[in-house]
């Protein structure tokens, strides 16, 4: 029992002060994160924020200027072939050979990974109405995504890395991919790190979130804590917006048809002080602050393009 408990408490991914540089361009700067076994971490950021570079660094595909990366309790660059079999990766390009038939890819994966679950793979294909004899090149982008994610899930990995697998998919295809991911994460046996631009998907699936801005990121924090430390304050449309920008705790201001909505973030005491300052600037009695959704908060953070504390 002690061995089992130790495994369940293990941090499957550990990154400390990671810096990656492409020539004179810093792609990632001193990024740190941990992902505990059974957790789902979403990486959120604008295009060019360093999301794909983070995945490539974890897989040992790009040189690292500084920092420590550990997967499954071991330095990522020293993983054995057996250890690498415990990790599955899906890129946004869904890079499988176009001439290959799906059933051939399934047999190849089964020969490489003893844990490959052919029944699971077949059920995912059936759900997406994809036939095994179809060639990859004949599939739509959404169908290719289902196949690639299905191959990764059927591997029964301990760590699943997904680099924006639903990018460019129609809503139904995206829902199918995310449903397959949700089914896989019901078990604590798999740990997931995924990047996505679809904030609604992040809110449905993720336990924790890492926000990347210009290659820099916060420590990964629980999604619920990120949202709990924020609120939205409605203000009259005549409020001086330039004055709002000077108030500590104001993350972003959204114009609305009948006024302004100010996204505020900080501790409870800090939010109270910010709301009081907003009331002075607006020179009016304010409505009570309302709760903020993850999507609202993440969009405000992306618009402001700043780190978090």
Encode pLDDT of 26-56 as tens digits: 999 999 999 999 999 999 988 888 899 999 9
pTM above 0.75, yes or no: yes
With a cut of 50, say whether residue 7 has pLDDT above it.
no
What integer pLDDT is reported at residue 71 of this predicted model? 94
Mean pLDDT, the chain, integer? 86
| Residue range(s) in the chain whose domain bears CATH number 3.40.50.300 | 39-62+80-217
Which run of H or E residues covers position 255? strand 250-256
Task: Tell which wins on pLDDT, 171 or 251.
Answer: 251
With a cut of 90, say whether residue 16 has pLDDT above it.
yes
What does the alpha-carbon distance between residue 279 and residue 153 come to, in Å, rounded to a whole number? 51
What are 196-233's pLDDT values in tens digits? 888 988 998 899 999 887 767 666 789 999 999 999 99
pLDDT band at 1 (very low <50, low <70, confident <90, very high): very low
With a cut of 70, say whether residue 289 has pLDDT above it.
yes
What integer pLDDT is reported at residue 227 of this predicted model? 94
With a cut of 70, say whether residue 306 has pLDDT above it.
no
What integer pLDDT is reported at residue 95 of this predicted model? 62
Whether the Cβ atoms of residue 206 and residue 40 lie closer than 8 Å to each other: yes
- Mean pLDDT of the region 254-265: 91
What integer pLDDT is reported at residue 158 of this predicted model? 92
What are 61-87's pLDDT values in tens digits? 899 999 999 999 898 888 888 888 899
Determine whether domain 39-62+80-217 maps to CATH 3.40.50.300: yes
Whether the Cβ atoms of residue 260 and residue 241 lie closer than 8 Å to each other: yes
What integer pLDDT is reported at residue 8 of this predicted model? 45
Helix (H, G, I), strand (E, B) or coil at 236: coil
Residue 111, C-beta contacts closer than 8 angstroms, at least 6 positions apart: none
CA distances from 7 to 12, 72, 74 (A): 9, 10, 13
Q: Residue 204: exposed, middle, or buried by beta-carbon count in 10 A (0-12, 13-18, 19+)?
A: middle
| Residue range(s) in the chain whose domain bears CATH number 3.30.70 | 229-304
Whether the Cβ atoms of residue 134 and residue 102 lie closer than 8 Å to each other: yes
What are 98-153's pLDDT values in tens digits? 788 999 999 999 999 988 999 888 888 887 788 888 888 888 888 888 888 889 99
What does the alpha-carbon distance between residue 14 and residue 11 come to, in Å, rounded to a whole number? 7
pLDDT band at 94 (very low <50, low <70, confident <90, very high): low
Whether the Cβ atoms of residue 152 and residue 145 lie closer than 8 Å to each other: no
For domain 229-304, which CATH number applies: 3.40.50, 1.25.40, 3.30.70, 1.10.20?
A: 3.30.70
Residue 63, C-beta contacts closer than 8 angstroms, at least 6 positions apart: 20
CA distances from 35 to 39, 194, 228, 258, 277 (A): 6, 11, 21, 42, 38
Q: Among the residues of the chain, which ranges form H helices? A: 2-9, 51-58, 81-84, 102-112, 118-127, 141-154, 171-184, 199-205, 223-228, 241-244, 268-282, 294-304
- Mean pLDDT of the region 253-258: 89
CA distances from 183 to 12, 44, 121, 128, 231 (A): 20, 22, 13, 15, 32
The label of the residue with tokens 């705790």 reads 249
What are 150-175's pLDDT values in tens digits? 899 999 999 999 998 887 778 888 88
pLDDT band at 308 (very low <50, low <70, confident <90, very high): very low
Strands 11-22 and 25-36: antiparallel
Using alpha carbons only, how large is the chain's radius of gyration in Å? 22
């Amino acid at each position: 029992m002690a061995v089992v408990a130790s495994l369940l408490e293990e941090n499957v991914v550990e990154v400390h002060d990671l810096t990656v540089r492409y020539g004179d361009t810093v792609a990632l700067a001193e990024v740190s994160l941990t992902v505990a076994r059974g957790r789902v971490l979403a990486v959120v950021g604008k295009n060019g924020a360093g999301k794909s570079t983070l995945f490539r660094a974890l897989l040992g595909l790009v040189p690292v200027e500084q920092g420590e990366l550990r997967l499954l309790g071991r330095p990522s660059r020293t993983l054995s072939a057996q250890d690498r079999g415990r990790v599955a990766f899906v890129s946004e390009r869904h890079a499988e050979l176009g001439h290959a038939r799906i059933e051939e890819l399934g047999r190849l994966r089964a020969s490489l990974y003893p844990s490959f679950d052919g029944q699971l793979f077949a059920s995912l294909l059936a759900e997406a109405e994809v036939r095994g004899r179809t060639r990859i090149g004949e599939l739509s982008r959404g169908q290719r995504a289902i196949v690639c994610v299905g191959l990764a899930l059927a591997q029964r990995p301990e760590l699943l890395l997904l680099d924006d697998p639903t990018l460019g998919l129609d809503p139904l295809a995206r829902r199918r991919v995310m449903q397959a991911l949700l089914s896989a994460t019901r078990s604590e046996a798999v740990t997931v790190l995924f990047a996505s631009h679809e904030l609604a998907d992040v809110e449905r699936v993720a336990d924790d979130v890492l926000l990347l801005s210009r290659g820099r990121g916060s420590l990964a924090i629980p999604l619920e804590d990120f949202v709990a430390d924020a609120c939205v304050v409605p203000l009259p449309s005549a409020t001086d917006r330039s004055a709002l920008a000077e108030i500590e705790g104001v993350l972003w201001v959204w114009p609305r048809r009948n006024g302004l909505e100010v996204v505020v973030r900080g501790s409870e005491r800090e939010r109270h002080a910010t709301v009081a300052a907003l009331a002075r600037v607006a020179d009016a009695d304010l409505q009570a602050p309302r709760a903020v959704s993850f999507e609202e908060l993440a969009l405000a953070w992306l618009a402001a393009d700043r780190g978090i504390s």
